Structures are given as C-alpha cells and as structure tokens.
Amino acid sequence: MASFGHRGHLSHSFRRLRSFHLTPQEQHDAPPPAAVIARPSTPPPPPSHPVSEKSRPTIPLLPGQASTSIPQSFKLALCIILSLVFIGAISCVFSGADAGDPPFKKSLDSLGPGIVLIGDNVDVDVDEPSITIRWSIMACGQGNVLPGSEGSHGSKNCGLPNELVYIYVDGDPQPTATYNPADIPFNKDTGLRRNIQNLVQFDSDHVLDVSKARLYPFDKYYLSSTLHAVSGTTNQTLTITKLATMALTANFDIHSTDVESYSDLANGTRLPTRDLDMHINRPTDARGIALLLFIVSWILTHVCIGHVILARRLRTAKPVLKHLVSVGAMLVALPQLRNSMPDAPGLDGFLIDTIGFFPQMVIVGMCIIILLLTVVSREMHARTRELTAPPPRPMTVFKGDVPPPPKVPTTSMEMAPYEMYRLMKHLKGQYVFPPVAPPAQEKQKKGMNKHRRYMTSMGPISEC
C-alpha cells in the first residue's frame, strides 16, 4: 500500500504540473474537464423574436475613419467666406448709426417761447484741464423765430432768434457771444435763411475739476455753469428756457441738467439766469477695454516670471537665449498695451499705472537681468567643466590567454546530482526548464481491469 501511495502521489503531481509543459496548441487540443463537457438534458428555448437581416447591428466607424475626406481647399474657402460674412455683419453697424430723429427734436417740440442754447459739442480735456462747449443759439415759440429759419435740429417749433441777442457766461461783464439776425443770409433758390455756424454758434471754456482723474478709467468729473441772455434791441433780459448738451462723446458719457435761477445785482435788480450741471464719466465699453488691456499686461508679466523659472532649470546657455528673446519682446509690448487704452492719460502717477504699468515694467526688467546673469553663469560653468574634465581613459586590451569554458558534465555520475535537483524542484511544483519527462509506463495489457468511474487502469497492487 505504501508503494501505491507513492505512485499515486507521483501521478497526481504529473497531472497537476503538466500544464507547465504543454504548448498553446496542445492546451487547445486537450479535452475539457467533465464539468465543462456536461450539457443540460433539454435544449435551450428558441429566441422570442427571430433575427432578421435588417436588424443586424452594423459595425460603427472608428474615429477618423470617415467614408469621404473633405479637401483642404474646401476648408480654406469656407474659412474665407465665414471671415467675409463676419466683417460684413460688423460693418452694418455704421449704416444705422444716424437712424431715427435728431437727438434734441423731442425736447424742442415741447418747449415754450424763449431762448434755447444747445450744446452740439463738448470737448473734455483732462490734461489741460478744461471743458469747451460749443453752443447753438436758437429761439422757440411764435413771435420769437426768424422767418424762414424754422426746422432747426428737426423741430418745426424752433429756429433762429428774430432779434439781436447778447449771451453772458458765468457772470462775465463782457458778452461771450453776439447774435445779429441781420447777418444771416438767404438761400437764393429757396428763399430760406442759411444756418451759418460761425454766425449762430459760439464756444465757452470752463475750468475742469480733475481731483478724481487718477481713478482712470473710473474717473468722474463735474461742471456747473450759469448763463443769461440780454436783448440788444430793448436791453432787457431774455428768458432762457432750455440748456441742453449732447449725451455721448468719443470718450465720455455726459448727463446734463438745467435749473432756472436768478441773481441779485448791486442796484437791487433781479437778473434771471439759467444754470447747467454736467456729470461726466467714462463709457462702459471704454472701461471694459481698459480693464482687459490691464489684465493682459499682468498676464504677460506673470508669463515672464514663468520664463525665468524654466530657464533656471536649464543646464546650457543656448536654450536660455530663447526665453530671453521672449521676455524682451514682452518688455516692448507692455508700453504699447498701455498706450492702446482709450483716451489713455499720460504717465503722471495715475492709479492704473501705480498698480499696473510701473510694477510690470520693473518685474519684466528684473526678469531680463536674471536671464542675462543665467546665460553668463551657464557659459562660465561650461568652460569650467571643459577645463577640469579628466582626460579620457585609455582602452585596455587583454593580452593573456582566454580562459577555457567550464567543463560540461558528461558521465552519469556527474549528471546524477543535477537530475536529482531538477526532479525535486519538479515535484515541489516549481518551474523547471527543460521540463522533466515523465517515467515510461508499460502498455496496458489486453483485458486489464479498469476503474468504473475514471476508466483508469488498476495495477496489481491496487487490486489487492
């Protein structure tokens, strides 16, 4: 029985380890185990819906496997067409800029009789600092309008005054402007009065308070002024019923209001006047563009710092020069971005320069200095390494005899320990190469008893 147990252990070890010595083809051809061969006694049920040819799934195309490729010339032509369409759509804005009624028509139609001054142009000069307003002299109401001059600024109710008028601004003893209807010429073809600008318009200069100018682009300004008109025919004060200015200029938004007022003279006479209050600030689009340029400038400054960090990690001087050129280009671009801001003020210490342009230039300049020192340092280190590098070692040549290869075991006494070692590893389940061949077994004799379950042969020892 001990011999049978030893043989059974050997056969079990060979069956367990035979998968280590089978090629992939032999493993494929080997019969599956009994659990896999077993099949159910009843066939599987048929599918509820028969599969038709149309319902077969199609193989989707992989990304990039298009059925047809678009020519590159077609893509280029499409980009050009889209660019032209975009430019044309943007240009349509100019066609509707003057659409609608004149800006002062609605307010002039509702005015009563009297003198009207319209500020057709407002020039705000922060550097001067001053505000220049160009006024147009008008009159509204029946009996005050010069015949043939109706329709000024789109209103049929208003036109040029029909009498001599003197205009005084901010209490000036001398008249700032003089209007004489006799100087207005006629149109020979239509018989109507001509509107000569130099005869019906005048400029008034005002001092501007620039205490908040350093807050650009969020600077705000305020102006107040007083005006009164005197008739040159009767020397009586004329009533000014309206003072109005334009609401939008190229660089500023203007909100103006007028207030009826009076002044008491030294002789006790009350002088009726009209006051104007103007609130001036930057338009929203100008503020947005200035802030975007401010942000872009700081981003470029941070990119310069990144160039310095990357350049410090390099070991040679040549790659550092690329970073140096990039930072130098940004040093030139920053002043251009500063000057591109809408109505940008001078470099006079404004807040946007204190927290923006000046520190940006300092940081970029320091980056250039650090990069230059880095280039010099890398060059000096390269020359030092060249001078202190050890000489190359000479190639050694073996001049002696080549040692003989180790002796290969050939006799049975020499090979027995090696084979025993390989067999022990094989029995322990370890991998052995080349594999150990199983011992030769005798052919089964005809009529030998076989096991009824596994159909295996039973030797004489097992029969006992």
Q: Rounded to 5 degrees, what angle do the CA atoms 81, 84, 89 make?
A: 125
Q: For residue 334, how many other CB atoms are within 10 A of its CB?
A: 21
Q: Which residues contact 124 (CB under 8 A, 6 or more apart)?
A: 131, 208, 221, 249, 251, 252, 280
Phi-psi domain of 399 (left: phi exceeds 0; alpha: psi -120 through 50; beta: other): alpha
What's the full length of the chain, in residues? Answer: 464
Q: Is residue 70 part of a domain?
A: no
**Which residue, of 282, 308, 338, is where some domain finishes?**
282
- Regarding whether 300 and 214 lie in a shared domain, the answer is no
Q: For residue 365, how many other CB atoms are within 10 A of its CB?
A: 13
The per-residue pLDDT for 352 is 92
Q: Is residue 258 part of a domain?
A: yes
Q: Is residue 427 part of a domain?
A: no
The per-residue pLDDT for 453 is 52
Q: CA–CA distance from 40 to each of 11, 36, 48, 290, 346 (Å)?
A: 32, 11, 20, 82, 95
What are 387-417's pLDDT values in tens digits? 776 777 776 665 667 677 777 777 777 778 8
- Regarding whether 271 and 319 lie in a shared domain, the answer is no
What percentage of the chain has pLDDT greater than the value 70? 76
Q: For residue 108, how many other CB atoms are within 10 A of its CB?
A: 21
- Cα dihedral 353, 355, 356, 360 sign: positive
**Do residues 115 and 239 touch, judged by C-beta distance below 8 A?**
yes
CATH code at position 269: 2.70.170
- Regarding whether 220 and 165 lie in a shared domain, the answer is yes
- Regarding whether 141 and 232 lie in a shared domain, the answer is yes
- Regarding whether 248 and 112 lie in a shared domain, the answer is yes
Split at pLDDT 50, 70, 90, the class of 176 is: very high
Closest alpha carbon to 379 in 303, 432, 320? 320
- Regarding whether 334 and 310 lie in a shared domain, the answer is yes
Q: CA–CA distance from 91 to each of 86, 88, 96, 342, 400 (Å)?
A: 9, 5, 10, 21, 92
Residue 124, judged by CB atoms within 10 A of its CB (0-12, 13-18, 19+), counts as buried
**Which residue, of 246, 262, 282, is where some domain finishes?**
282
Q: Which range has the worst mean pLDDT, 23-27, 258-262, 436-440? A: 23-27
- Regarding whether 260 and 142 lie in a shared domain, the answer is yes
Closest alpha carbon to 360 in 394, 388, 337? 337
Task: Report helix, strand or coil for 202.
Answer: strand
What is the distance of C-alpha 156 from the center of its chain?
52
Cα–Cα distance for residue pair 162/202, rounded to 1 Å: 18
| Domain span holding position 152 | 105-282
Amino acid identity of 369?
Answer: I
The per-residue pLDDT for 48 is 53
Highest-scoring range by mean pLDDT, 44-48, 286-290, 458-462: 286-290
**Which residue, of 386, 413, 436, is where some domain finishes?**
386
The per-residue pLDDT for 107 is 85
Q: Is residue 421 part of a domain?
A: no
Closest alpha carbon to 185 in 166, 203, 155, 160? 160
- Regarding whether 259 and 126 lie in a shared domain, the answer is yes
What are 329-339's pLDDT values in tens digits? 999 999 999 99
Closest alpha carbon to 249 in 274, 225, 278, 289? 278
- Regarding whether 335 and 265 lie in a shared domain, the answer is no
Residue 462, judged by CB atoms within 10 A of its CB (0-12, 13-18, 19+), counts as middle
The per-residue pLDDT for 79 is 95
Domain count of the fold of the chain: 2
Split at pLDDT 50, 70, 90, the class of 288 is: very high
DSSP 360-383: HHHHHHHHHHHHHHHHHHHHHHHH
pTM above 0.85, yes or no: no
Cα–Cα distance for residue pair 242/258, rounded to 1 Å: 7
Q: Is residue 312 part of a domain?
A: yes
Phi-psi domain of 193 (left: phi exceeds 0; alpha: psi -120 through 50; beta: other): beta
**Do residues 197 and 184 touch, judged by C-beta distance below 8 A?**
no
Q: Is residue 26 part of a domain?
A: no
- Regarding whether 118 and 266 lie in a shared domain, the answer is yes
- Regarding whether 346 and 253 lie in a shared domain, the answer is no
| Buried b or exposed e, range 191-221, using 16+ CB within 10 angstroms | eebebeeebbbbebebebebeebeebbebeb
Split at pLDDT 50, 70, 90, the class of 58 is: low
What are 357-392's pLDDT values in tens digits? 999 999 999 999 999 999 998 888 877 777 776 777
